[in-house]
Amino acid sequence: MSRESIKVFAPASVSNVGPGFDILGFALNQPGDEIILSKTQNDKIEISKITGDEGKLPTNVEKNTASVAILSLMKKYKIKNGVSIHINKKMGLGSGLGSSAASAVGAVFAYNELFELNLSKDELLEHALAGEFVASKAIHADNVAPSLFGGFVLIRGYEPIDLIKINYPSDLFCTIIYPDIEIKTSEARAILPKEVSLKSLISQTGNIAALIYGLSTGNYQVISRALKDVIVEPVRSKLILGYDEIKIAALEAGAFGSGISGSGPSMFALSNSEEIANKIASETQKVVSNLGLKSVTYVSKINEVGPKILD
């Protein structure tokens, strides 16, 4: 029986994983976005409500990632089924956790389910990316792809887009420490070096190759050695107050690797038990508090499935 409305959850994601700048990301069980779509009696898309954003997100359907993603899908398949969109932001804007990607993914996933279009996730991907483009002004799949497909996703290339799902240990946990610092993605990208030395390139490619191997084989010692970014982290870490102290606290609490999530300010730390992951959250939060900052922490296993129907 067809339904008149649908509510879905789309997960946050960690991108730029260690040496995997712009090419590697993974999905989280929490936080994420909730998208509610309700059928209308016309062919228009409207944003009826946005909550949890402190009034910062646009309600113009041409500028919001969720509505643009749906409009892209409707245009390609010549669909004229209108919906009203309620976006419930359950994560910080500009957190480095793929907030705009989650909204775009949740929207097209929900639309596909509501109207029983039977489109595959591969077919939904280009429309989620179209939505993400509104926010980032560039096509980057390292948040969108993990949020849509779940798990770890490697983006090998874009012409055409080539995604590879990476195996990972089933007991892998991620701790997110999100300090109350504002970092604009555009500014974080502007400070990146335009060229890198051959020495740095060799080190970075060696680390990403080792990281993929370590994840695929469940070798934590290799993962620990490979979670090193010699190109982007040294530059972007300067934007995060207390970065080195937070990272040291995470490692001393049992993390086998830590780094910046996306453009920051959120940082991630990987471990192999919930107990250690919670300890990392506690110890890193103490450091942030001592710096005079508020923060939020999340502890999550890797999200294996991507978006899901809530109601």
Following CA atoms 132, 134, 138, 143 in sequence, which dihedral angle do they give, to the nearest 10 degrees?
Answer: -20
Please tell me which residue in 34, 132, 233, 283 is annotated as part of the active site.
132
Instruction: Give the Cα separation of 224 and 237 in Å (integer).
Output: 19
In the residue annotation, 185 being an active-site residue is answered as yes
**Beta-ladder partners of 28:** 302
Pick from 308, 16, 14, 306: nearest CA to 175: 14
Instruction: Give the Cα separation of 268 and 298 in Å (integer).
Output: 9
Under DSSP, is residue 288 helix (H, G, I), strand (E, B) or coil?
helix
Cα 150 → chain centroid: 10
Under DSSP, is residue 92 helix (H, G, I), strand (E, B) or coil?
coil
Under DSSP, is residue 268 helix (H, G, I), strand (E, B) or coil?
strand
DSSP state of 302: B
Please tell me which residue in 175, 185, 284, 297 is annotated as part of the active site.
185
Backbone angles phi, psi at 25, to 5 degrees: -150, 160
Tokens of 283: 């110890």
Contact of 63 with 56, CB cutoff 8 Å: no
Burial 115-150 (b: 16+ CB within 10 A, else e): beeebebeebbbbbbbbbbbbbeeebbbbbbbbbbb
Contacts of 81 (CB under 8 A, 6+ apart): 39, 43, 74, 115
Active site residues: 132, 185
